[in-house]
Amino acid sequence: MTVCLVDQIDRLNILARRFFHELSQKGNSLYNVVPDIISRLSDPNIGVSEEHFRSIMEFLIPLIVKERLCETLVEKLCARFRTTTLERQWRDLAFCLNAMPFSDRMMRVLYENLPAFADKLCVQEVYAAFDSIISNVKKLIKPDNMARLEEFETKVKEFHEKGVADEAAVRRAEIAAKTAKQRSRHNRASHNSNVTVNNNEVTRKNLRRTATTRATIQASDEDEENDNEIGKILPVREKNTRTTRARTRIVFSSDDEDNE
Protein backbone atom coordinates (compact mmCIF):
# COMPACT_ATOMS: atom_id res chain seq x y z
CA MET A 1 0.00 0.00 0.00
CA THR A 2 2.82 2.46 0.81
CA VAL A 3 4.27 2.01 -2.68
CA CYS A 4 1.00 3.36 -4.06
CA LEU A 5 1.92 6.71 -2.50
CA VAL A 6 4.48 7.14 -5.29
CA ASP A 7 2.54 5.37 -8.02
CA GLN A 8 2.39 7.10 -11.39
CA ILE A 9 -1.36 6.53 -11.55
CA ASP A 10 -2.91 9.52 -9.81
CA ARG A 11 -6.01 7.65 -8.66
CA LEU A 12 -3.95 5.04 -6.78
CA ASN A 13 -1.85 7.81 -5.28
CA ILE A 14 -4.89 9.66 -3.98
CA LEU A 15 -6.52 6.53 -2.56
CA ALA A 16 -3.32 5.54 -0.74
CA ARG A 17 -2.97 8.96 0.84
CA ARG A 18 -6.57 8.85 1.99
CA PHE A 19 -6.07 5.40 3.48
CA PHE A 20 -3.04 6.40 5.59
CA HIS A 21 -4.64 9.65 6.66
CA GLU A 22 -7.64 7.74 8.02
CA LEU A 23 -5.33 5.18 9.63
CA SER A 24 -3.55 7.95 11.54
CA GLN A 25 -6.89 8.90 13.11
CA LYS A 26 -7.30 5.45 14.68
CA GLY A 27 -5.23 5.58 17.84
CA ASN A 28 -1.73 4.14 17.46
CA SER A 29 -2.44 2.19 14.29
CA LEU A 30 -0.13 4.18 12.02
CA TYR A 31 2.58 4.47 14.67
CA ASN A 32 2.58 0.68 15.11
CA VAL A 33 3.32 0.00 11.43
CA VAL A 34 5.71 2.86 10.62
CA PRO A 35 8.88 1.15 12.01
CA ASP A 36 8.18 -1.94 9.89
CA ILE A 37 7.43 0.21 6.85
CA ILE A 38 10.76 1.99 7.25
CA SER A 39 12.67 -1.29 7.59
CA ARG A 40 11.03 -2.84 4.56
CA LEU A 41 11.26 0.18 2.25
CA SER A 42 14.92 0.84 3.13
CA ASP A 43 15.91 -2.76 2.42
CA PRO A 44 17.93 -2.58 -0.84
CA ASN A 45 16.79 -6.06 -1.87
CA ILE A 46 13.01 -5.65 -1.53
CA GLY A 47 12.50 -1.94 -0.91
CA VAL A 48 12.14 1.13 -3.10
CA SER A 49 14.59 3.68 -4.42
CA GLU A 50 15.97 6.29 -2.05
CA GLU A 51 14.00 9.00 -3.81
CA HIS A 52 10.69 7.14 -3.44
CA PHE A 53 11.53 6.30 0.18
CA ARG A 54 11.90 9.97 1.02
CA SER A 55 8.67 10.89 -0.74
CA ILE A 56 6.76 8.26 1.24
CA MET A 57 8.30 9.20 4.61
CA GLU A 58 7.71 12.91 4.05
CA PHE A 59 4.01 12.08 3.88
CA LEU A 60 3.73 9.41 6.62
CA ILE A 61 5.85 10.73 9.50
CA PRO A 62 4.08 14.09 9.95
CA LEU A 63 0.83 12.12 10.39
CA ILE A 64 2.14 10.97 13.81
CA VAL A 65 1.41 13.97 15.97
CA LYS A 66 1.30 12.70 19.55
CA GLU A 67 4.49 13.76 21.31
CA ARG A 68 4.68 10.57 23.38
CA LEU A 69 4.54 8.46 20.24
CA CYS A 70 7.10 10.69 18.53
CA GLU A 71 9.51 10.26 21.46
CA THR A 72 9.19 6.49 21.28
CA LEU A 73 9.64 6.57 17.51
CA VAL A 74 12.84 8.61 17.87
CA GLU A 75 14.18 6.03 20.31
CA LYS A 76 13.30 3.16 17.96
CA LEU A 77 14.90 4.86 14.97
CA CYS A 78 18.10 5.53 16.94
CA ALA A 79 18.21 1.89 18.01
CA ARG A 80 17.99 0.85 14.35
CA PHE A 81 21.38 2.46 13.72
CA ARG A 82 22.95 -0.30 15.81
CA THR A 83 21.38 -3.15 13.82
CA THR A 84 21.84 -1.82 10.27
CA THR A 85 25.03 -2.18 8.24
CA LEU A 86 24.47 -0.24 5.03
CA GLU A 87 25.02 3.46 4.44
CA ARG A 88 21.75 3.59 2.51
CA GLN A 89 19.89 2.45 5.64
CA TRP A 90 21.73 4.98 7.81
CA ARG A 91 20.79 7.76 5.41
CA ASP A 92 17.15 6.64 5.46
CA LEU A 93 17.01 6.59 9.27
CA ALA A 94 18.61 10.02 9.53
CA PHE A 95 16.14 11.36 6.96
CA CYS A 96 13.20 10.04 8.98
CA LEU A 97 14.50 11.73 12.13
CA ASN A 98 14.94 14.98 10.27
CA ALA A 99 11.35 14.74 9.01
CA MET A 100 10.02 14.83 12.58
CA PRO A 101 9.13 18.05 14.45
CA PHE A 102 11.47 17.93 17.47
CA SER A 103 10.51 19.24 20.87
CA ASP A 104 12.67 19.60 24.00
CA ARG A 105 11.61 16.17 25.25
CA MET A 106 12.38 14.56 21.90
CA MET A 107 15.80 16.21 21.91
CA ARG A 108 16.55 14.67 25.30
CA VAL A 109 15.90 11.25 23.74
CA LEU A 110 18.31 12.17 20.96
CA TYR A 111 20.99 13.24 23.46
CA GLU A 112 20.73 9.95 25.30
CA ASN A 113 21.05 7.90 22.10
CA LEU A 114 24.09 9.68 20.69
CA PRO A 115 26.31 6.57 21.11
CA ALA A 116 23.93 4.63 18.84
CA PHE A 117 24.64 6.77 15.78
CA ALA A 118 27.95 8.48 16.64
CA ASP A 119 30.01 6.21 14.38
CA LYS A 120 27.56 6.81 11.48
CA LEU A 121 28.17 10.57 11.45
CA CYS A 122 31.13 10.04 9.11
CA VAL A 123 28.55 9.71 6.31
CA GLN A 124 27.95 13.21 5.02
CA GLU A 125 24.18 12.77 4.49
CA VAL A 126 23.72 11.44 8.04
CA TYR A 127 25.67 14.34 9.52
CA ALA A 128 23.75 16.84 7.38
CA ALA A 129 20.43 15.45 8.69
CA PHE A 130 21.45 15.87 12.35
CA ASP A 131 22.90 19.29 11.64
CA SER A 132 19.54 20.26 10.11
CA ILE A 133 17.71 18.98 13.20
CA ILE A 134 19.93 21.07 15.48
CA SER A 135 19.47 24.18 13.33
CA ASN A 136 15.68 23.83 13.38
CA VAL A 137 15.54 23.19 17.14
CA LYS A 138 17.68 26.27 17.86
CA LYS A 139 14.85 28.41 16.53
CA LEU A 140 12.32 26.98 19.00
CA ILE A 141 14.26 25.77 22.04
CA LYS A 142 14.03 27.47 25.40
CA PRO A 143 17.06 29.49 26.50
CA ASP A 144 17.55 27.21 29.50
CA ASN A 145 18.13 24.25 27.20
CA MET A 146 20.41 26.02 24.74
CA ALA A 147 23.63 25.06 26.54
CA ARG A 148 22.88 21.35 26.29
CA LEU A 149 21.92 21.69 22.64
CA GLU A 150 25.19 23.45 21.88
CA GLU A 151 27.09 20.72 23.72
CA PHE A 152 25.28 18.12 21.64
CA GLU A 153 26.09 20.08 18.49
CA THR A 154 29.78 20.15 19.40
CA LYS A 155 29.86 16.39 20.01
CA VAL A 156 28.06 15.68 16.73
CA LYS A 157 30.61 17.79 14.87
CA GLU A 158 33.55 16.11 16.65
CA PHE A 159 32.27 12.62 15.85
CA HIS A 160 31.75 13.67 12.24
CA GLU A 161 35.26 15.04 11.83
CA LYS A 162 36.82 12.06 13.61
CA GLY A 163 34.82 9.65 11.47
CA VAL A 164 35.82 11.43 8.27
CA ALA A 165 39.49 11.36 9.32
CA ASP A 166 39.26 7.66 10.20
CA GLU A 167 37.59 6.89 6.89
CA ALA A 168 40.32 8.77 5.05
CA ALA A 169 42.98 6.83 6.99
CA VAL A 170 41.29 3.55 6.11
CA ARG A 171 41.14 4.50 2.44
CA ARG A 172 44.81 5.47 2.46
CA ALA A 173 45.70 2.16 4.08
CA GLU A 174 43.67 0.27 1.48
CA ILE A 175 45.35 2.16 -1.35
CA ALA A 176 48.80 1.52 0.15
CA ALA A 177 48.04 -2.19 0.54
CA LYS A 178 46.76 -2.37 -3.04
CA THR A 179 49.86 -0.57 -4.35
CA ALA A 180 52.18 -2.86 -2.40
CA LYS A 181 50.37 -5.90 -3.78
CA GLN A 182 50.72 -4.62 -7.33
CA ARG A 183 54.42 -3.93 -6.80
CA SER A 184 54.91 -7.42 -5.43
CA ARG A 185 53.23 -8.92 -8.48
CA HIS A 186 55.37 -6.75 -10.77
CA ASN A 187 58.57 -7.77 -8.99
CA ARG A 188 57.64 -11.45 -9.20
CA ALA A 189 56.86 -11.06 -12.89
CA SER A 190 60.22 -9.31 -13.50
CA HIS A 191 62.08 -12.00 -11.56
CA ASN A 192 60.37 -14.76 -13.51
CA SER A 193 61.17 -12.96 -16.77
CA ASN A 194 64.88 -12.67 -15.83
CA VAL A 195 65.00 -16.32 -14.85
CA THR A 196 63.42 -17.27 -18.18
CA VAL A 197 65.97 -15.17 -20.12
CA ASN A 198 68.87 -16.71 -18.19
CA ASN A 199 67.50 -20.18 -18.75
CA ASN A 200 67.14 -19.47 -22.45
CA GLU A 201 70.74 -18.25 -22.62
CA VAL A 202 71.99 -21.36 -20.81
CA THR A 203 69.92 -23.54 -23.13
CA ARG A 204 71.35 -21.84 -26.21
CA LYS A 205 74.90 -22.26 -24.87
CA ASN A 206 74.26 -25.93 -24.16
CA LEU A 207 72.81 -26.38 -27.64
CA ARG A 208 75.88 -24.76 -29.18
CA ARG A 209 78.18 -26.95 -27.11
CA THR A 210 76.24 -30.05 -28.10
CA ALA A 211 76.32 -29.07 -31.76
CA THR A 212 80.08 -28.45 -31.60
CA THR A 213 80.68 -31.79 -29.89
CA ARG A 214 78.56 -33.60 -32.45
CA ALA A 215 80.45 -31.91 -35.30
CA THR A 216 83.80 -32.91 -33.78
CA ILE A 217 82.67 -36.50 -33.31
CA GLN A 218 81.31 -36.62 -36.85
CA ALA A 219 84.57 -35.22 -38.25
CA SER A 220 86.57 -37.81 -36.30
CA ASP A 221 84.34 -40.57 -37.63
CA GLU A 222 84.81 -39.32 -41.17
CA ASP A 223 88.61 -39.27 -40.74
CA GLU A 224 88.58 -42.82 -39.43
CA GLU A 225 86.45 -43.93 -42.37
CA ASN A 226 88.86 -42.28 -44.83
CA ASP A 227 91.84 -43.97 -43.14
CA ASN A 228 90.10 -47.35 -43.41
CA GLU A 229 89.39 -46.83 -47.09
CA ILE A 230 93.01 -45.87 -47.75
CA GLY A 231 94.13 -48.95 -45.79
CA LYS A 232 91.98 -51.15 -47.96
CA ILE A 233 93.28 -49.62 -51.20
CA LEU A 234 97.01 -49.70 -50.42
CA PRO A 235 97.41 -53.54 -49.93
CA VAL A 236 95.63 -54.17 -53.22
CA ARG A 237 98.07 -51.94 -55.06
CA GLU A 238 101.00 -53.71 -53.40
CA LYS A 239 99.67 -57.10 -54.47
CA ASN A 240 99.21 -55.92 -58.01
CA THR A 241 102.79 -54.69 -58.10
CA ARG A 242 104.11 -58.04 -56.92
CA THR A 243 102.10 -59.86 -59.57
CA THR A 244 103.46 -57.59 -62.27
CA ARG A 245 106.98 -58.21 -61.12
CA ALA A 246 106.46 -61.97 -61.15
CA ARG A 247 105.06 -61.87 -64.61
CA THR A 248 107.98 -59.85 -65.82
CA ARG A 249 110.40 -62.33 -64.42
CA ILE A 250 108.65 -65.22 -66.15
CA VAL A 251 108.73 -63.50 -69.47
CA PHE A 252 112.40 -62.86 -69.23
CA SER A 253 113.12 -66.52 -68.40
CA SER A 254 111.27 -67.82 -71.44
CA ASP A 255 113.18 -65.47 -73.69
CA ASP A 256 116.48 -66.88 -72.44
CA GLU A 257 115.41 -70.38 -73.20
CA ASP A 258 114.55 -69.49 -76.79
CA ASN A 259 117.91 -67.95 -77.35
CA GLU A 260 119.65 -71.06 -76.21
Q: Which residue has the higher pLDDT, 249 or 81?
A: 81
Compute the distance between CA of residue 192 and CA of residue 199 in angstroms, rounded to an integer. Answer: 10
**Is 120 a member of any domain?**
yes
What's the pLDDT score for residue 258? 44
Alpha carbon distance 225, 215 (integer Å):
15
- More confidently predicted of 256 and 67: 67
Q: Classify residue 29: in a domain, yes or no.
A: no
Asked if residue 112 belongs to a domain, the reply is yes
User: Residue 210 — very low, low, confident or very high, per pLDDT cuts 50/70/90?
Assistant: low
For residue 86, tell me if it sits in a domain: no
pLDDT over 70 at 254, yes or no = no
- The mean-pLDDT minimum among 85-99, 101-115, 144-158, 194-208 falls in 194-208
Q: Is residue 19 part of a domain?
A: no
In a domain, 73, yes or no: no
| Residue 169 structural domain | 101-185
Render pLDDT for 188-209 as a digit per residue (tens, 0 to 9).
766 666 656 566 665 666 666 6
Cα distances (Å, whole numbers) of residue 205 to 191, 199, 215, 219? 21, 10, 15, 21
Q: Higher model confidence: residue 44 or residue 243?
A: 44
Above 90 in pLDDT, residue 256?
no
Q: Does 10 reside within a domain? A: no
Number of domains present in the structure of the chain: 1
- How high is the pLDDT of residue 257? 43
CA 106 – CA 100 distance, rounded (Å): 10
Answer yes or no: is 31 within a domain.
Answer: no
Q: What average pLDDT score do residues 174-201 get? A: 70
pTM: predicted TM-score of the whole model, two decimal places: 0.67
**Using CA atoms, how far apart are residues 83 and 79, in angstroms rounded to an integer?**
7
